[in-house]
Chain A
Amino acid sequence: MMVAVEKDKGDSLMEGDNVYIPHVMKIEKVIEETQNIKTFHFNFKDETQKAQFGFKSGQFAEYSVFGVGEATFCISSSPTRMDHLEFSVMRVGKVTQAIHELQEGDEIGFRGPYGNWFPLDSIQGKNLVFVGGGIGLAPLRSLIWNVLDNRDIYKDIVILYGARSPADLSFKYDLEAWDKDDRVNMYTTVDRGDESWTGRVGLIPPVLEEIGPSPENTVAITCGPPIMIKFTLQSLEKLGFTHDQIITTLEMRMKCGIGKCGRCNIGNIYVCKDGPVFTYAQIRSFLSAEF
């Protein structure tokens, strides 16, 4: 089975627009997910811009704190819920620190959407297995909500989410909602529990093997830290998933987001323009070369 991953056609940009000029957006809500991850709900200041804006699950954008700089994050909300947009940020450096200091009512720069997206069309009518680790749930939750808002056109849905510890679980409100949802098989796991944790303990790959989803008419979509991805791919292979049935996203340092600044390439593939969404089959064809 082939999952076609569409390429960005850049048609969101009108001729004559300056692609580097960000929209000024307003932060509407700040959610503290963990001690170093925050989610921001944000919105256009201008209703016309808001009405014209569209994106697809999996796409990313360049976000900026004016005077500090730009950084790249996916849009973590679903295109089916356009009341506002969301992005989630782990505090790791100068720009992310500044983003973490933002409060409701503050403004950010936003340009995008960029990159390709999850292949919504070709996963219709299939069983879906979502495997997310840590903040890697951010791009997945965009797709998950997108799928759940059109629940009838997909078959069985498994969501497996894991984090290092209970305190590191992000998007707890989503996890709860999916756990309560009869149409979803939700599994949450942590590497190490604590006194109050009564849930599952175990690394994602063995838990995935234990759940044992059938590869028959199924697509697996996985995002997370590199080490988790590496072993999750192995587990999926063990379960009988072919490389075409596995979709993931790649992460590289980016600046422009539009295939010009020269740093996010892996071979001749530019993650910003040709990705960030790839099938495992695609990745195998170029990843072994450089890394």
Chain B
Amino acid sequence: MGYKRIKKDQLNAFLRELSKDYAVVLPSRSGGQVVFGPWDGENTDFLDWYKNTVIPPKALFFPPVEEMFRFRKGEEGYEIEELMPDKGQQIIFGIRPCDARALKIIDMLFADTYRDPYYLRRRENSLLIGLGCNEPCDTCFCASLDISPGQSEDVDILCTDTGEDLLIEAISDKGGNLLSRMSGLSDAGSEEESKARELRKSAKERITREINLSGLQERMRSNFENRAYWEKVSKKCMACGICTYVCPTCHCFDINDENRKKEGKRVRNWDSCKFPLFTRMPMENPRHEKWRRMRQRYHHKFEYYPMNFGAIACTGCGRCIRECPVNVDVTEIIGGI
């Protein structure tokens, strides 16, 4: 199937048609932040202001608070009621190529050996419609991680904003099937296609920030016991954990119970390796010191995850750089090794 196009002022009708079968989630403003939220059925003005969300789309599949099951003490003892996400289908419209890649990266963990039913249920019931970046932020460094800001193989459908139009391309079979059912799309001409190509090329060229990954595994291993280095680079870190919360691939969690008298819920919450309590045991804590936790986070992303899953757990989205209150910069820390 070739490229399709739609006038941007027709996006509303397109989304409305999708809304019949899917819950549509797209970039919206909530509490002064840009997040993925349910479409209000009307506005498509995000096309004018949207760069990327603060909270990454992992939250749509692995929510900050997940109610896993309910328990209740009855006559016959405890009864457990599983709380699974509903089976409704959803469309994530406007996901960026870096964030779509991030989902591919954490899919491997959640599907590994013991399948995580909550995450995987939502992933199976979701369709990703990506929106290529024409104007990356100065904190972006996706190009260093083999991600092209304007292109993606990790979505079902990819859109490119060519000014007047959205150029629409089916990437997966699932995406192709959906597009073939949609009305209001016209075939794109070669002029639009070459314009899209041009936009993608120039977007990639605009990414100036880099992360030096050459020989990184070797470099990291030989620097591992360089305590002075890790102490130096972690000095200003406040261990607030924001880098882990806004990271599209950070997936660490805690499991806790909430209860009132004889009933309650078991919940899973986002946790962070930046907190000393994360690894604290009654008698000892292997990562009590901040520099050890800093080292753990970068080694996890750039050494252990590649060893275990064959992919670096970073997509160059730049959120950790943008949101860090003290300007810790992953590209500097990795580059300095």
Task: State the A residues within 8 Å of B (CB).
Answer: 8-10, 13, 15, 18-22, 24, 26, 45, 64, 66-70, 90, 92-93, 107, 109, 225-226, 251-253, 255-256, 258-268, 273, 289-291
* Nearest opposing residue in chain A for B254, CB measure: A255
The interface size bin for chain B is: 35 or more
* Nearest opposing residue in chain A for B250, CB measure: A262
Which of B84, B110, B282, B292 contacts A93 (CB under 8 A)? B282
Which of B71, B116, B253 contacts A262 (CB under 8 A)? B253
A residues near B77, Cβ cutoff 8 Å: 24, 26, 45, 107
Given contacts A66-B257, A260-B253, A290-B286, contact A19 B117 (CB under 8 A): yes
Contacting residues of chain B (165-197) with chain A, CB-CB under 8 angstroms: none
The 9 tightest CB contacts between A and B, nearest first, are: A262-B252, A67-B259, A92-B282, A268-B304, A10-B113, A258-B114, A268-B307, A19-B114, A66-B71
* Nearest opposing residue in chain B for A106, CB measure: B77
State the Cβ distance, B117 to closest chain A Cβ, in Å.
5
- The answer to whether B257 touches A263 (Cβ under 8 A) is no
Task: State the B residues within 8 Å of A (CB).
Answer: 68-69, 71, 73, 77-80, 82, 84, 109-110, 112-117, 224-225, 251-257, 259, 264, 266, 268, 271, 273, 278-284, 286, 292, 296, 299-300, 303-304, 307-308
- The answer to whether A20 touches B69 (Cβ under 8 A) is yes
- The answer to whether B113 touches A21 (Cβ under 8 A) is no
- The answer to whether B68 touches A20 (Cβ under 8 A) is yes
B residues near A66, Cβ cutoff 8 Å: 71, 73, 78, 257, 259, 264
Query: What's the Cα separation between A264 and B224 when bound, in Å?
Result: 18
- The answer to whether A21 touches B251 (Cβ under 8 A) is no
State the Cβ distance, B226 to closest chain A Cβ, in Å.
12
Query: What's the Cα separation between A265 and B305 when bound, in Å?
Result: 11
A residues near B112, Cβ cutoff 8 Å: 259-260
A residues near B304, Cβ cutoff 8 Å: 265, 267-268
Query: What's the Cα separation between A264 and B254 when bound, in Å?
Result: 12
Query: What's the Cα separation between A285 and B224 when bound, in Å?
Result: 14
A residues near B252, Cβ cutoff 8 Å: 261-263
- The answer to whether B281 touches A252 (Cβ under 8 A) is yes
Which of A90, A107, A268, A290 contacts B308 (CB under 8 A)? A268
- The answer to whether B116 touches A260 (Cβ under 8 A) is yes
* Nearest opposing residue in chain B for A10, CB measure: B113
State the Cβ distance, B337 to closest chain A Cβ, in Å.
15
Query: What's the Cα separation between A36 and B264 when bound, in Å?
Result: 28
Query: What's the Cα separation between A19 and B160 when bound, in Å?
Result: 40
B residues near A24, Cβ cutoff 8 Å: 77-80
- The answer to whether A253 touches B259 (Cβ under 8 A) is no
- The answer to whether A21 touches B80 (Cβ under 8 A) is yes
Given contacts A262-B273, A263-B252, A268-B304, contact A253 B280 (CB under 8 A): yes
State the Cβ distance, A134 to closest chain B Cβ, in Å.
11
- The answer to whether A261 touches B253 (Cβ under 8 A) is yes
Query: What's the Cα separation between A224 and B263 when bound, in Å?
Result: 37
20 new A-B contacts, CB < 8 A, other than A20-B68, A255-B253, are: A8-B113, A10-B114, A13-B114, A20-B268, A21-B80, A21-B82, A24-B78, A26-B77, A66-B264, A67-B259, A107-B77, A226-B283, A255-B271, A260-B114, A261-B252, A261-B254, A263-B252, A264-B279, A265-B300, A290-B286
Q: How many residue-residue contacts, CB under 8 A, span A and B? A: 123
B residues near A9, Cβ cutoff 8 Å: 113
* Nearest opposing residue in chain A for B77, CB measure: A107
- The answer to whether B253 touches A69 (Cβ under 8 A) is no
Identify whether the interface residues of B are mostly helix, strand, loop, or mixed: mixed
State the Cβ distance, A263 to closest chain B Cβ, in Å.
5
B residues near A93, Cβ cutoff 8 Å: 282
B residues near A10, Cβ cutoff 8 Å: 113-114
B residues near A70, Cβ cutoff 8 Å: 255, 257, 266
* Nearest opposing residue in chain A for B309, CB measure: A268
Which of A64, A259, A261, A266 contacts B271 (CB under 8 A)? A261
State the Cβ distance, A71 to closest chain B Cβ, in Å.
10
Query: What's the Cα separation between A107 and B73 when bound, in Å?
Result: 10
State the Cβ distance, A211 to closest chain B Cβ, in Å.
27
* Nearest opposing residue in chain B for A264, CB measure: B279
Which of A68, A255, A262 contacts B251 (CB under 8 A)? A262
A residues near B280, Cβ cutoff 8 Å: 253
* Nearest opposing residue in chain A for B72, CB measure: A66
Interface centre among B114, B224, B253 (most CB of A within 10 A): B114
- The answer to whether B279 touches A252 (Cβ under 8 A) is yes
B residues near A267, Cβ cutoff 8 Å: 299, 304
Query: What's the Cα separation between A253 and B117 when bound, in Å?
Result: 23
A residues near B115, Cβ cutoff 8 Å: 13, 15, 19
State the Cβ distance, A126 to closest chain B Cβ, in Å.
30
Q: What are 16 pairs between A and B in contact, CB < 8 Å?
A: A10-B114, A18-B117, A19-B114, A24-B79, A67-B264, A92-B282, A226-B284, A251-B281, A252-B281, A256-B253, A256-B255, A259-B112, A262-B273, A263-B271, A263-B273, A264-B279
State the Cβ distance, A18 to closest chain B Cβ, in Å.
5
B residues near A256, Cβ cutoff 8 Å: 253, 255
* Nearest opposing residue in chain B for A105, CB measure: B77
B residues near A15, Cβ cutoff 8 Å: 115
A residues near B114, Cβ cutoff 8 Å: 10, 13, 19, 258-260
* Nearest opposing residue in chain A for B244, CB measure: A262
Given contacts A255-B254, A263-B278, contact A268 B303 (CB under 8 A): yes
- The answer to whether B279 touches A68 (Cβ under 8 A) is no
- The answer to whether B255 touches A289 (Cβ under 8 A) is no
Query: What's the Cα separation between A258 and B255 when bound, in Å?
Result: 13
Query: What's the Cα separation between A260 and B118 when bound, in Å?
Result: 13
Which of A45, A67, A226, A255 contacts B255 (CB under 8 A)? A255
